[in-house]
Chain A
Amino acid sequence: MSRAMFDLLLQGLWETLVMTGVSGALSFVIGLPLALILVTTDRDGIFQNLAINRSLGLVVNALRSVPFIILLVAVIPLTRLITGSAIGIAAAIVPLTIAAAPYYARVAEVSLREVDRALIDAARAMGATRWTILRDVLIPEALPGIVSGFTVTLVTLIGASAMAGAVGAGGLGDIAIRYGYQRFETEVMVAVVAILIVMVAGLQWAGDHLARRIDKR
């Protein structure tokens, strides 16, 4: 493999990392509160509010049902508004976040719902405020699932970022398509796939490890 090709792959790796990292962080910051709202505003939730719950659920479902490749194109006007451009890494982060935040919200929601109702009642019986229940019961008890759900979201984002590459965002996916597919450079294709496998495996390992460490059950 030529020096130029090596540099190209290195840059692609960096771009993929940035896209995944930034949209992952944003998805966490947006998705976790969404999940908390979805769980606590539901029937018998500590902040029960069915109007908010149903409308938010509708929005999340709508976003979740649009295939990413279509979402990517559909949100271009919004992307332009936010980043000033429709191509490049920053531009890819917008659709990636819009797709991943609701996805992560649903994944985290499942973990939050698995927290034993009896624990919430025990905290209520102690006279805990709703915020205390959120901070001391709901989130800590669901944390292992919240972490492993985030790992799953990041892995999904790596895949999606390759698709974003197809519309000129750069990254490993872009390289694989332009060099590996369109120019028949099998070597590049193999290299990209290998890098992706190592990335995903490493990420999954780190996520599992962290989830196990915080799981005291």
Chain B
Amino acid sequence: MTGLKRPVVRLEGVVRRFSDRPALDGISLTLESGEIVGLIGRSGAGKSTLIRCLNGLDRPQAGRVEIDGTDITSLSEQALQPIRRRIGMIFQHFNLLSAKTVAENVALPLKIAGEPAAQRRAKVMELLDLVGLADKADTYPARLSGGQKQRVGIARALAADPLLLLSDEATSALDPETTQAILALLQDVNRQMGVTILMITHEMEVVRQIAHRVLVLDAGRIVEQGPVARVLASPQAETTRSLLRGLSPVLPQDLASRITAEGEQALIRVDVYGPAARQPLLAIIEGITGQPPRLLHGGLNDVQGEPYGRLFLALGTSDPGRVAAVVARLQPETTAIEVIGHVPRDV
């Protein structure tokens, strides 16, 4: 390929106000072809408004929204239609048409694109095969489970070979097991068809599992962005930290209550990710203090194959010099290291 690849989506200084309250307050972002990007934020952060601006269902008061190089902010409803046909969308509540069968629902984008009925059927069956619902083609959505409905939603969103797939809290109404299956399907779709996916969610777990990159939205602004592993391992913004709560280990209450300023053993918190997590950290510490450290809490998890985690370690000593040496030695290996306090030997 020659030259620069055109981004699928490019937003520049997008502002959208409702009466006086800004829902989007100067959003700039770029989605490259083939990536899965998670857009996370609490409810009311502006996520839905942002996604609606991407297909022109909502219009910003300022800024540019470029889809595949075309600025859509000033396009008429009619001029938007061909662009919208290249953007698939899946919804939290599926939004399937109750009066149409599964096959008719999936066929709708093809019908809109002007595909003849004969070709439609073949394409629909291919898509239903992909999402594992070939036997439900002539069933009405009311007879499907939530997970099956979302599979139909995904098949429908993919029908017109979109270059961008927008997912608006697609797994938020589903149970954990079904969520896993739907996320795996989206990941498959991304790998097989190369479609760019923007996932809006309030669940960091969803982002951790399939997103390559994460954008954190708070009060209409992007407060943090970066590779998922980096953001999970060392969140910078307060919003990110609070969204991560529940995902990163925190000290259990009974343990935390026994931490004192002075004591027998220094307690450190170590955040690691990537290759650092593969280092023999405990052996390194023992080499400095002469005592094996004790793992009191925490552990490792993975973000798409990259390990990341948080460890609470009681060092075998409280000697300030040795503790400082440990911190100094581990600093370059870890994303964060901190001496929290001291704990007794029997904790």
Contact = CB atoms under 8 A, between A and B. Distances in A.
B100 A140 contact: yes
Interface string B69-99: 0000000001011111111010101010111
Contacts of B112: 126-129, 132
Contact of A136 (B89, B91, B97, B141): B97
B85 A121 contact: no
Contacts of A137: 97
Interface string A99-139: 00000000000000000101101111111110010001100
Nearest to A136: B108
A65 to B, nearest CB: 34
Interface residues of A, number: 21
Secondary structure at the A interface, as helix, strand, loop or mixed, is: helix
Interface string B111-123: 1110000000000
Given A137-B97, A140-B97, A217-B98, A126 B108 contact: yes
Q: Name the prevailing secondary structure of the B interface residues.
A: mixed
Given A118-B91, A121-B57, A136-B111, A127 B97 contact: no
Nearest to A124: B57
Nearest to A119: B95
Contacts of A216: 98-99, 140-142
Contacts of B160: 126-127
Contacts of A143: 99
A141 B212 CA distance: 39
B109 interface: yes
7 contacts: A121-B57, A125-B84, A126-B84, A126-B89, A126-B112, A127-B82, A216-B140
Given A127-B160, A217-B98, 14 more contacts: A119-B97, A121-B57, A121-B95, A123-B108, A125-B55, A125-B89, A126-B112, A127-B80, A127-B83, A127-B85, A128-B81, A129-B78, A136-B97, A140-B100
Interface of B: 55, 57, 78, 80-87, 89, 91, 93, 95, 97-100, 108-109, 111-113, 140-142, 160, 166
Interface of A: 116, 118-119, 121-129, 132, 136-137, 140-141, 143, 214, 216-217
